[in-house]
Structure 1
Amino acid sequence: MTNYDTLSEAINDLISRGYTYDFNLNPDCIKCASLKIKIHPEDFEVDAFYRFEGMSSTDDNSILYAISSKEGIKGLLVDAYGMYSENLNEEMIQKLTIKH
């Protein structure tokens, strides 16, 4: 797995590797506004993830997920270290849980 110094560096590299769509987190799925679609947990895989810790504040902590769907749609999801996890259903929590 590649190590990145900044979130923007990771995003730029992953975009160049085909992860071109922007995903948003919903309680039971991820959404792609540009394609106007919802992708449920059983229909996508987390290909890679990267943690970033803010230098000045823990509020700047985030995780970048590189995600691909069964239909071949590849995109990125940025989550502020579980900030929205309390709103997710169990399937989404399991899908986005980082396993080492």
Structure 2
Amino acid sequence: MTTNNTMTTLSEVTNFLNDAGYTIDFNLKQSYLECMSTHLKIFPGEFIVDKHYRFEGESDPADEAIVFAISCPKHNLKGVLINGYGISSDSISDEMIKALDERKH
């Protein structure tokens, strides 16, 4: 996926991804991703992290976030997962941690 290197805000990245077809909002659960609109559960091995973007707050660690561009060929879905990282990150299974690593194509 090609990106514009001038994107510096969370909204710029999410708008870019939406324009690129990543239109589903995912919610992170301990051992799966949930498709917010349909409540479909997507488990590790069923999705691929195509790209991720990190945002670090200049002075407040609570401003740290990561945006994942995720595709799920099994369900023909592409979407976005936004999550905090560092101190504010969610507790997830080791399998989910491995699944959220960006894969190189």
Q: What TM-score do the two structures reach when normalised by structure 2?
A: 0.85
Q: Is 1:95 the counterpart of 2:99 in the alignment? A: yes
Structure 2 stretches of 5 or more lacking a match? Answer: none
For 2:103 and 2:54, how far apart are their aligned partners in 1? Answer: 13
Q: TM-score, normalised by structure 1?
A: 0.89
**Percent of counterpart pairs with the same letter?**
44
- 1:8 aligned to 8, 11, 28, which one? 11
Report the equivalent of 1:78.
82
SS of 1:42 mapped into structure 2 = coil
Deviation at 1:55, TM superposition (A): 2.7
How many angstroms does 1:98 deviate by?
5.2
- CA root-mean-square deviation: 1.7
The residue number in structure 1 matching 2:56 is 53
Which 4+ stretches in 1 moved above 6 angstroms? none
Q: Deviations over 1:1-29 (max 9, x none)?
A: 52321010000010011000100000000
Secondary structure in 1 matching 2:45:
helix
Query: Are 1:24 and 2:36 counterparts?
Result: no
- Is residue 53–residue 66 contact of structure 2 (8 Å, CA) maintained in 1? yes
**Aligned in 2, Cα 1:34/1:79: closer, same or farther, shift over 3 Å?**
same
Runs of 5+ consecutive residues of structure 1 not aligned to the other structure: none
Aligned residues: 98
SS in 2 for 1:41: coil
How far does the alpha carbon of each residue in 1:44-87 deviate from its partner, in whole angstroms, 9 at most, with x for none? Answer: 00000001111331110111000000222000001101511xx2
